[in-house]
Structure 1
């Protein structure tokens, strides 16, 4: 039966080849939650909320995206330096179940999040090569991958949370002003919130500065 309440939204399909399980899991748990929420913020909420408020929220999200992307790239550079200093060939690592996922890009901020997951996958491939070469302790390897997944997933959780709250506040304001056409917070926006929050963890990890991981500092000087 046709869903008469669903709107027809524009999107572009982007194919993302993901080698590592960690990137595949991050995409599965975070991308749709983030994309639905960021579309609601960028398009739907603008019809009912204050423009300044929407732009302020977008600015905060852009900062998180830019910081995460910059930190991932810095980590990749460090891992490449460690590999070079220790004679490791990064391209030698293969994966048993690489996949190509379809990312439906419904806004330019969706494209940015998809790109962060792709670059995270690149980071993990570098980390795997260094770990398989014995330069990273198992405990550090597990901690680093967990913290990065949690950080990327928390971006999706954060966006979902602020959009949900803004929708609720806008609806209350509209009801007080006797405006009846403000949409309720969609189930798609908040669906899976508990699972996503549980996967992402309760706190955002510290920035991955050069001294954050002891084995990185040690091997950089090798």
Structure 2
């Protein structure tokens, strides 16, 4: 069994220690950091497969650290956010985080989020996405190569995260079909829709990468009151 490395970043030692216990019980290897600067040093030194990132920290906050990690890696990043900090969740997702867990968290929920993000990332990395009838999907100026997991927009490669890729693959593989937010979540995350609001944020990020004018999208359309579709 492959042992995955989890980087836990929080300035409260009691929280990092508690998370370490939960994760080690699931056979994960844990690295701990207490601010963003420490986190980046560990990330550059070790092979990290997932990051649990608090937002409010000294020296370098979680938002800045997430931006730096996203410049060089697509590993899953889960934001640790207090219930009162909804804007932190949305900001974290907007800058590249994949998911969030609300503090105080239920250990079982935390492990579920970690397990599903690790599973999704390793499937993406190992080219195991299912439904490979065609290795390339091309609609208009958007091309998706399922062998290399690359997205090409008007001839230029665009960097996407595993979550963004899977959402785009689902919609482009079913052009003009409308998917509800809950349906997108369940098909991409492969679990019940715990955090369906994350879908809307990820859709916004995809639009920023593939649309000439994200506010007036040509491809990734909203169907008000229902969901989203990729227009062919």
Return the TM-score normalized by structure 2: 0.28
More strand by share: 2
Higher helix share: 1
